[in-house]
Structure 1
């Protein structure tokens, strides 16, 4: 059996939503405190269509995922990226990709809700599925509260 001396990373799912930016920041703080690497992940898949149509031209879902991840990292860490940060773009369903990654993670950190779904839900489908099926501890971050307007 081959074992690795490299500590398992904290894996954070990133979709560009406000709660995923909060998750990125918290994951970086935890990774620094635990002295483990941080891996920011954006998953993508081709959209499901019911009429056999598919967007053509220069559109690339993988390219969009790369842009979302780069923008989220800039928004989360305007002063510079944390040390030991790795990034990855993974094809496939988001929840399944993150659950697969949980096998080799010390912790999975997610935003409570992504870009889709129904406004007002406490958990989105990805965070709920990962909380149920991940094979490591899971931390789910909510969007930061906005300051009341005076």
Structure 2
């Protein structure tokens, strides 16, 4: 069986947005979709009566059933399963990421990621999951209305093949152009440095363009700083793809300052692709 795409469901509007994108991605890749609701309230620790637990189970099962019916309307014929887990939502999704191709989560951010706090489910999952994570912000369009443009952030000093390959595949499947962006340090936009950055970016992309000859690539060297350039570029993109190095253990965020800024302010879904 193909590795599933997992989406966190909590009944909120931002979760439905994540479901839209997860269903579209499952259809593109021919993968099953798993809808997951995690909550410690479901843990039978004696806090509630058995009748109350039964009501909770029934309520959350109905929520997942509604989400499943919605997903099937978006993508008829999709293989969609549901799962209730008696764990905090972020912990549940991180645990499941070992057997997922992608985990999709929404954010409550208003007008961007202003409302996304460092303790939120979205940021926690993005920082700890062992598979790519798609974080869908409130301003993101429906997948069918998104422009045919994938934006990839590239650190030419430490290129992350997993993120680059993910972005090229996404562009190929969507028939989209790929904009590969690297940035000069702020206040260091000399012609010499720009020439070096152009050459290094071309070298990083060369092999991938051979593997994906159908993907038109636009290399960009920005002098506005990486975070600002990526956030601005997200306004005209369907997806923004960034890499992240995971810590060896379970603790500690491995997102970096640029990724934190992107997750707080991007206008399109952000795919955070881990590198071992």
TM-score by length of 2: 0.42
Q: Closer, same or farther in 2 for the Cα pair 1:82/1:41, shift >3 Å?
A: farther
Larger relative contact order, structure 1 or 2 (CA cutoff 8 Å, min sep 6): 1
Which residue in the other structure is 2:116 paired with?
Answer: 122
Unpaired stretches in structure 1, ≥5 consecutive residues: 1-5, 48-52, 115-119
Query: Distance between the aligned counterparts of 2:81 and 2:70, measured in 1?
Result: 16
- Cα displacement string for residues 70-115 of structure 1 (whole angstroms, at most 9, x for unaligned residues): 233345555676521111111112111110100000000001139x
Query: Distance between the aligned counterparts of 1:79 and 1:103, measured in 2?
Result: 26
The SS at the match of 1:16 is coil
Where do residues 65-144 of structure 1 align in structure 2 (5 Å cutoff)?
65-75=60-70, 77-78=72-73, 82-113=77-108, 121-122=115-116, 125-144=120-139
Structure 1's consecutive aligned runs of 4 or more residues displaced over 2 angstroms after TM superposition are 53-64, 70-82, 143-146
Deviation for aligned residue 1:138: 0.3
Which residue in the other structure is 1:117 paired with?
Answer: none
Identify the match of residue 35 of structure 1 among 13, 30, 37: 30
Aligned-residue RMSD, C-alpha: 2.9
In the alignment, structure 1 residue 44 sits paired with structure 2 residue 42: no
Which residue in the other structure is 1:15 paired with?
Answer: 10
How many correspondences in the alignment?
Answer: 132
The SS at the match of 1:140 is strand
Query: Distance between the aligned counterparts of 1:144 and 1:77, measured in 2?
Result: 24
Deviation for aligned residue 1:144: 4.9
Deviation for aligned residue 1:56: 4.1
Q: Closer, same or farther in 2 for the Cα pair 1:8/1:80, shift >3 Å?
A: closer
Deviation for aligned residue 1:68: 2.1
Q: Closer, same or farther in 2 for the Cα pair 1:75/1:91, shift >3 Å?
A: same
Q: Which has the larger radius of gyration?
A: 2
TM-score by length of 1: 0.73
Q: Closer, same or farther in 2 for the Cα pair 1:81/1:40, shift >3 Å?
A: farther
The SS at the match of 1:100 is helix
Q: Which has the higher helix share?
A: 2
| Contact persistence 2:68–2:80 (CA under 8 A) | no
